[in-house]
Structure 1
Amino acid sequence: MPSGLVALLDDVAGIAKIAAASVDDIGAAAGKAGTKAVGVVVDDTAVTPGYAMGFTPDRELPIVAKIAVGSLRNKLLFLLPGALLLSAFAPWAVTPILMLGGSYLAFEAAEKIIEIFVHHDEAVETEDLALSGPELEKQKIAGAIRTDLILSGEIMAIALADVADRPLPIQAAALAVVGVVITVLVYGVVGLIVKMDDIGLHMAKGKTAATRGFGRGLVKGMPVVMDSLAYIGTAAMLWVGGGIIVHGLHEFHFTPIPAWVEGFSHWAGQVPGVGAVTGWLAMALGSAVVGMVVGGAIAAVLHFIPRKKAH
C-alpha cells in the first residue's frame, strides 16, 4: 500500500512537472507572438478612443466596455477557432489572409488621408445628427467592433504565424492568452484616455496649486492628444498594413519591393550611435510608403473609378 501511494505521488509529481512545462511553453509562445503583433496593438489603441468621443461623460466607459466585450468575443469565439482550423488544415492560407488584412488597413489609412485633400459629402454627419443618443451609440459600437474584427484578425494571424510549429493545444492556449491580455491592455488604456479630461477636471479642484495646475493642463491638453491619436492611428495603419504586405511578398519570393525596403533600412541604420533607431524608422517609413501605394490603389478602384463612370 505505501509503495502504491509513493507511485501515485510520483505520478502526480510527473503530471505537475508536465503541466508546469506546458504553462511555460504557453507563456513563452504567447509572449513571443504578442510582441510580433505590437504594431497592430498600437493601431487598435489609437483608433478606438474616437468611437467614444461626442458622448456624455457617463456613457464613455460603458461604450468602451461594450467595445471591449465585442473585441473579446471576436477573438475567442470567431477568430481563435478559425485560426486553429487554418493551422490544422490550411496553414498555407495564413500569409495570404494576413496580406488581405494588411491591404484593408492600408486602404483605411489611405482613404482617411485622401479625405483630407478631397472634399467629401456631409451626408454621413447629417445622418449622425438625425440619430438619437442610444441609436448613435449603438451604431458607433457596432462600427468599432467591425473595425476591431479586422485588427483582432491581424493580431491573431500574426500570433498564429509565430506559434504554428507548436502542438495544437499550445497554439490554442497561446492565442487565447494573447487575445485576453491584449484586449485588457488595449481597452484599459483606451478607458484611461477617454476619461483623462474628467480626471483633469477633478484634479483642477484639488487642494494644492500643483494639483490644480496639472489638472488644468490635462483638460487643455486632451483635445490635442485625441487629435494626435487620430494621426498616429492612421500612420500605424499604413506602417502595419504595409509591413504585412512587404513580409508577405518576401514569403512568396517576390523580392524587389522587400529588398528595396530592407536596403533602405540597412542604409539608414549606418548612422553612428543611433543606427538601430534610424534603421527601424526607415523600415517603418518604407512599409508606410508601400501601404500608401496599395491602399491608394484600392481606394481609387473602389471610389474614384465608379464615380467617374457615373459622371
Structure 2
Amino acid sequence: MDKLRSAFNKKSTKTEKRKTDYLSLNKQIFGNKDQEKEQEQKEQKGNSKKGSKKKQKKKSNNKNAVSNKDREVRTVFVGNIPIEVKPSQLRQHFTQFGEIESIRFRSFAQKEGKKKARNQKDINKEVLDIQNAYIVFKTQEQARHALEMNSKKLFGKHIRVDNATRNNNDEKFTIFIGNIPFDTKEESVRLFFKECGKIEYVRLIREKFSRKGKGIGYVKFKKKKSVRFATGLNGEFFQGRKIRITKSNHQKSQQALNKKKKKRERQNERNKLKKERKYLDKRNEKRNKRKRSFNGSKKNSNNSFKKKRTNKKKNK
C-alpha cells in the first residue's frame, strides 16, 4: 500500500508541474499579446488626442478670425482729436450712441530715433498736435449711429468719424491737393475750401513714425457741385505756395502703379534669362575650345607616332 501511495503522489506532482508549466507558457504567449493590444490602444488614443488638438487649434483660429471681423465691424475711427484729450473725455461724448468696450489712441508724432511712442516723453507735440482713436462698441448698430458725429466740432476741432473697415473714398466727391506746406493742419485746409461747400472730411498724408506732412492730401465734399468749385481754385496761393488741385484719381493711379510693377517684374525676368543664356553660351564655348585643343593634341601625338614608325621602317 505504501508503494502505491508513493507512486500516486509522484504522478500528482508531475501533473501539477505540467499544469504550472502550461499556465506559465500561456501567460508568456497571451500576456504579450495583451500588452501589445494595450500599447496599440494607447497609441491610438495618443493619435486621437493629437488630432483633436489640431482640430481644436483650427477651430480656435477660425473663431479668432470671426471674432476679429466682428470686432472690426463694431469699431469706429475718429480723427483730428487734440493731443490733450484723454480716453475718459472721449468716452463721455460717444456713450450717447451705446456701450463702449475699449478706446485706443494711435498716430502720435514720435521723436527721432524711436519707432514707438510708449510714453508721453516719446511724443513730439511740436510736429503734430492731434491724434487718432479707435472706439469699439458692443453692437454694429451703435457703431453705425456714431457716424453721425462726422465733421462735427468737438474739442475745438472738426473731427473725422468713419468705419475702421471701409475707406469711404468716393472719387466723385473728393479732390486731390498738392504743393502744400509740410506743417499745414486740417483746420486751415477746411477754411480754405469753406466757400466751395460742406466738407465731409480732410485727410492729409503723413509719414508713418514722425507724422510729418508730405505736402499732399484729400478733401471730400458732401455734394458733387463743390468739386467743380474747388478745382477752379487751382493755382491760387495757399500759405505762400501755389496749390495744385485736381479731381481724385486714386484708383487709376494705383492701377498705373500696378502695371508699372508688372512691367518691371517682366523686365527683370527677361534680364535674368539673358544673363543665364550668356553664361551658358560662354561655358559651352569654353568646353568646345577644350575639346578642340584635346582633339588637336591627340592628332599631333598620333602623327608624331606615325612619323616615328615610318622613320624606323626606313632605317631598317
TM-score, L = length of structure 2: 0.25
> Which structure is higher in strand share?
2
Select the structure of larger CA radius of gyration: 2
Greater RCO structure (CA 8 Å; 6+ sep): 1
**Higher helix fraction (1 or 2):** 1
TM-score for the superposition, normalised by structure 1: 0.26
